[in-house]
């Protein structure tokens, strides 16, 4: 069974646990913790028989787990996420 992620812009893509791992690594989490968080999130979605999940809900789940592991990684994720969103907004504005 595949799970679909509904992104903020409304587009859809397949849920890929490895993307969670990469994001957690960028926030400073070690590989074993990043993989554990990805597995927990995937297991929760499968357990609840979720077919679609919003990117926002997915982020909330990841951040809750990250915060339990390490406050610093949690803060790093938020800083990194804001920087990406700001850059996307600037790119969209420059294309108009």
Per domain, the residue ranges of the chain are 4-94
Q: What percent of the chain has pLDDT over 90?
A: 78
Residue 1 has pLDDT above 70, yes or no: no
Residue 14 has pLDDT above 90, yes or no: yes
Please, which pLDDT band fits residue 37 given cuts at 50, 70 and 90? very high
Cβ neighbors of 52 (< 8 A, separation 6 or more) are: 3, 4, 5, 6, 12
Average pLDDT over residues 49-70: 96
Please, which pLDDT band fits residue 95 given cuts at 50, 70 and 90? confident
Average pLDDT over residues 7-20: 95
pLDDT number for residue 64: 97
Residue 91 has pLDDT above 90, yes or no: no
Residue 51 DSSP class: S
Taking the model in full, what pTM does it have?
Answer: 0.86
Cβ neighbors of 70 (< 8 A, separation 6 or more) are: 28, 29, 33
Query: Quick one: which of 42, 38, 39, 29 has its CA closest to 69?
Result: 29
């Amino acid at each position: 069974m595949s799970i679909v992620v509904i992104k903020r812009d409304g587009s859809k893509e397949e849920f890929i646990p490895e993307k969670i791992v990469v994001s957690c690594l960028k926030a400073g989490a070690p590989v074993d913790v990043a993989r554990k968080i990805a597995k927990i999130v995937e297991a929760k979605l499968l357990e609840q028989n979720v077919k679609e999940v919003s990117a926002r809900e997915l982020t909330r789940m990841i951040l809750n787990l990250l915060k339990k592991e390490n406050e610093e990684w949690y803060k790093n994720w938020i800083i990194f996420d804001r920087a990406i969103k700001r850059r996307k907004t600037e790119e969209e504005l420059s294309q108009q």
